[in-house]
Structure 1
Amino acid sequence: MNPEPLRRWLAQPKPSAHRFPYDRVVDVYQRYGKQLVPKTWTTLLGAARERLPEVSGPRRQVAAFLDAVLDKVDGRFDYRTYLALPLLPIPDPDSESEPADRLLARRDRLHVLLLSDLAAFELRGLDGTGTPLSELRPDPVLARKRLHHAVRAAAPALRRLSFDLHAADDPVALARRLVALACIDRTSDDRLALRTTMLPVSNVHDEWLFIRTLQTFELTFGLLAVDLSAAVTAVGEDRLPSAGIRLILAATLLRETAALWSLLATMQPEAFHRFRVHTDGASAIQSRAYKLVESLCRAPDTQRFHSAAYRSAPDVRARIRSGQISLDDALNAIRADHRTLGEVPALADGMQRFTAAVHQWRRTHYRLAVRMLGTERPGTGGTPGTPYLLHGRDNAVFGSRGPITAGNERS
């Protein structure tokens, strides 16, 4: 592919952020895979990064994009750059101030956009209209099954957004409807976000599924972290029923991810093993959003705090060191006043539902990892893999003190 558009952009005395040739760069990365992008392109992209101080207009988007596309060249490829997470508006408890309903609507909208993009990609493959990532394309039966689960995963968010897919037996027809609905209010910024956050390492078809599904999980865990932070605040302000309601909402959202696991389970093991050899350095144990959720439930013990998982999320470690209050801490403060939490039905219900949802999530994660990796193979990016998922940490969600607990089950 001709890099002339990028050269022309670089030749401008003051390059415009709005005119950066994102599409041409993304086309190259999707054609070759990040692992094999020609040096001509990475050299020019490095030059673009050097020009960032001279760029006119908002530079954050260009800077984050260049950070993602040059991670392999720089030797800092990780989970965050692999999924291009800084280019997605992931909810964060440090920056969100909107009411819960608006945050949920924002999450639902992006959730639908990500899944509709996956559906559109699979439909192009079925229709034979040409797609990038052409290796190991699934057969039509598997593709239809994948579309069925993509629609299922999007359905709860669509209902909350007041969209109706209409009943239909044909998963292809439903998927086309999903794509059409997602296009109704899709903006140019939405399109750019979808384009710049699909930077596969290979040319294997199923990597598109893998990346989009992991991004949807990150989106959900980001909102769960916001919900848990709000629940902690509510407990601290003695608004215990409000804390319980926020936990019930979080549990509902986490349970809805069950369809995402079914979707991810349609990934072909051969395809997964083909592209995962290029993902060394990136692992889901590096997920900042998951560490936030875990640490907001209860502070990790010393061994967990110093584990590879937490070392990969230094800002979460800093939050804990600076005195982050977990939900378990907040509840223990109330127990110290000899108050009975069991007398607040909404809170008891919320804790029990959220605990059950987390344990179910972990069990499903483990089962899928066993299917893809077996019981002894290392995980993505050379991490400990399935033995770690099952036995490598204390899986209690909250502590074991007081009348409302999650127990100390190892899922």
Structure 2
Amino acid sequence: MNPEPLHRWLAQHRPTTHRFPYDRVVDVHQHHGKQAVPEAWTALLRSARERLHDVSGPRGQLAAFLDTALDKVDGRFDYRTYLALSLLPIPDPDHSTEPADRLLACRDRFHVLLLSDLIAFELRALDSTGTPLPQLRPDPLVVRKRLRHAVRATGPALRRLSFDVRAVDDPVALARRLTAMVGIDRTPADRLTLRTTMLPLSSVHDEWTFIRVLQAFELTFGLLAVDLTAVVTAVAEDRLPAAGIRLSLAAALLRETAPLWSLLATMQPRAFHRFRVHTDGASAIQSRAYKLVESLCRTPDPERLHSVAYLSVPDVHARIRSGQTSLDDALNSIRADHRAVAEVPLLADGMRQFTAAVHQWRRTHHRLAVRMLGSERPGTGATPGTPYLLHGRDTAVFGDHSASGNGHR
């Protein structure tokens, strides 16, 4: 592909961010795979990054995109750059100050956008052989199953957003209806976000599914981290019924992600192994959102805190070392006042629901990982030990607080 648009942009005395040729750069990455982008292109992208101080217009998005596009060249490739998480509105307890309903609406909107993009990609591949990532395309029966699971995974978020997708028996027709409906409200900024957050490592078809599903999980775990922070605050302020309700809502959100596992299970193992060879350096143990959720439930034991699982997320590690309060810590104060969680039915029920949802998520994850990787292979990114496609080992959700009884296990 001709890099002339990037040459022209660089030749300007004061280039503007809104005229940067994002589409051409993304096309090159999707054609070759990030692993094999020609050096002529990466050299120009490095020059663009060096000129950022000369650029007019908001630079944050362009700077984040260039850092994501050049992670392999820079030797900085990891899980966060692989998924372009800096370009997605991942909720964060330190910065997401909006009311809970607005945060959920934002998460729902981008959850639907990510999955509708996956659906649109599969539909384009059904209609044409000229779409990106042409290697190891699944057969039409697998695609129909993938579309059915993808549409199902959007269902709860679509309903909360007041979208009404009338059901039809044909999964392809239903998928076309969904993408047309979601596309009505999609803005130019949405389109740019979807384009710049799909920089696969290879040209293997199923990598598109892998990336979009992981991004969807990150959105959800980011919001769960915000929810758990609010729950901790509510317990500390003795608003125990409110804490229980928020925890039950968080459990419901996590349960809603179940169809994402079915969607991920449509990946062909041989396709997964084809692109997985390029993922060294990117492991989901580097997921900040997941580690926040885990550590906000219960402060990790010293052995786990000083393991690669937490050393891979240094800011979360630092939060814990500086005294981050977990829900387990907050519940200890209840026990110190000689009260039991069971005395507050809403809180006890919330804890039961959230614990069950987390354990189910982990069990499903482990089953899929064993199916894809086998029981002896390392995880994605050469993670040691039992294989995990996404996140770390099965640890206790809460400490010695029972959702029933006298507060002890």
Match of 1:229 in 2: 229
CA contact (8 A) 1:10 1:48 kept: yes
Match of 2:243 in 1: 243
In the alignment, does 2:323 pair up with 1:355? Answer: no
How far off its partner does 1:298 sit?
0.7
Shift of the 292–71 alpha-carbon distance from structure 1 to 2, 3 Å rule, reads same
In the alignment, does 2:369 pair up with 1:369? Answer: yes
Q: Distance in 1 between matches of 2:250 and 2:50?
A: 42
Q: Distance in 2 between matches of 1:323 and 1:378?
A: 33
How far off its partner does 1:387 sit?
5.4
CA contact (8 A) 1:304 1:393 kept: no
In the alignment, does 2:395 pair up with 1:395? Answer: yes
In the alignment, does 2:131 pair up with 1:120? Answer: no
Match of 2:339 in 1: 339
After superposing on structure 2, the runs of 4+ consecutive aligned residues of structure 1 that deviate more than 6 Å are: none
CA contact (8 A) 1:395 1:408 kept: no
Match of 1:165 in 2: 165
Letter in structure 1 aligned against 2:104: L
Letter in structure 2 aligned against 1:105: A
Match of 2:320 in 1: 320
Give per-residue Cα distances to partners, 1:79-137, cap 9 Å, x unaligned: 00000000000111101111111111110000000000000000011112631000000
Letter in structure 2 aligned against 1:281: G
CA contact (8 A) 1:135 1:203 kept: yes
Letter in structure 2 aligned against 1:377: R
Give per-residue Cα distances to partners, 1:294-352, cap 9 Å, x unaligned: 00001000111011111110110111111110000001012101122211111001000
Q: Distance in 1 between matches of 2:381 and 2:262?
A: 23
Secondary structure of the 2:381 match is helix
Letter in structure 2 aligned against 1:373: L
CA contact (8 A) 1:92 1:226 kept: yes
Q: Distance in 2 between matches of 1:50 and 1:402?
A: 55
Match of 2:288 in 1: 288
Match of 1:37 in 2: 37
Q: Distance in 1 between matches of 2:90 and 2:34?
A: 23
Secondary structure of the 1:162 match is coil
Match of 2:274 in 1: 274
In the alignment, does 2:160 pair up with 1:151? Answer: no
Matched positions, count? 407
Counterparts of 1:149-228 in structure 2, within 5 Å, are 149-228=149-228
Q: Distance in 1 between matches of 2:205 and 2:387?
A: 28
Secondary structure of the 2:131 match is coil
Secondary structure of the 2:330 match is helix
Q: Distance in 2 between matches of 1:142 and 1:393?
A: 30
TM-score normalised to structure 2 length: 0.97
Q: Distance in 2 between matches of 1:347 and 1:322?
A: 27
Any stretches of 5+ residues in structure 2 without a counterpart? Answer: none
Letter in structure 2 aligned against 1:12: Q
Letter in structure 1 aligned against 2:186: R
Q: Distance in 2 between matches of 1:385 and 1:121?
A: 34
CA contact (8 A) 2:365 2:388 kept: no
Give per-residue Cα distances to partners, 1:159-207, cap 9 Å, x unaligned: 1111111121111011111101211211111000000000000000000
**Bigger mean CA deviation after superposition, 35-44 or 395-404:** 395-404
Q: Distance in 1 between matches of 2:273 and 2:387?
A: 18
Shift of the 255–394 alpha-carbon distance from structure 1 to 2, 3 Å rule, reads closer
Letter in structure 1 aligned against 2:144: R
Q: Distance in 1 between matches of 2:18 and 2:168?
A: 42
Q: Distance in 2 between matches of 1:154 and 1:252?
A: 14
Letter in structure 1 aligned against 2:227: D
Shift of the 84–388 alpha-carbon distance from structure 1 to 2, 3 Å rule, reads closer
CA RMSD, 1 decimal: 1.8
How far off its partner does 1:386 sit?
2.7
Shift of the 385–8 alpha-carbon distance from structure 1 to 2, 3 Å rule, reads farther
Q: Distance in 2 between matches of 1:147 and 1:141?
A: 10
Q: Distance in 1 between matches of 2:271 and 2:291?
A: 28
Match of 1:137 in 2: 137
Match of 2:304 in 1: 304
Q: Distance in 2 between matches of 1:213 and 1:188?
A: 22
Any stretches of 5+ residues in structure 1 without a counterpart? Answer: none
CA contact (8 A) 1:373 1:385 kept: no
Secondary structure of the 1:386 match is coil
Letter in structure 2 aligned against 1:195: R
Q: Distance in 2 between matches of 1:143 and 1:84?
A: 25
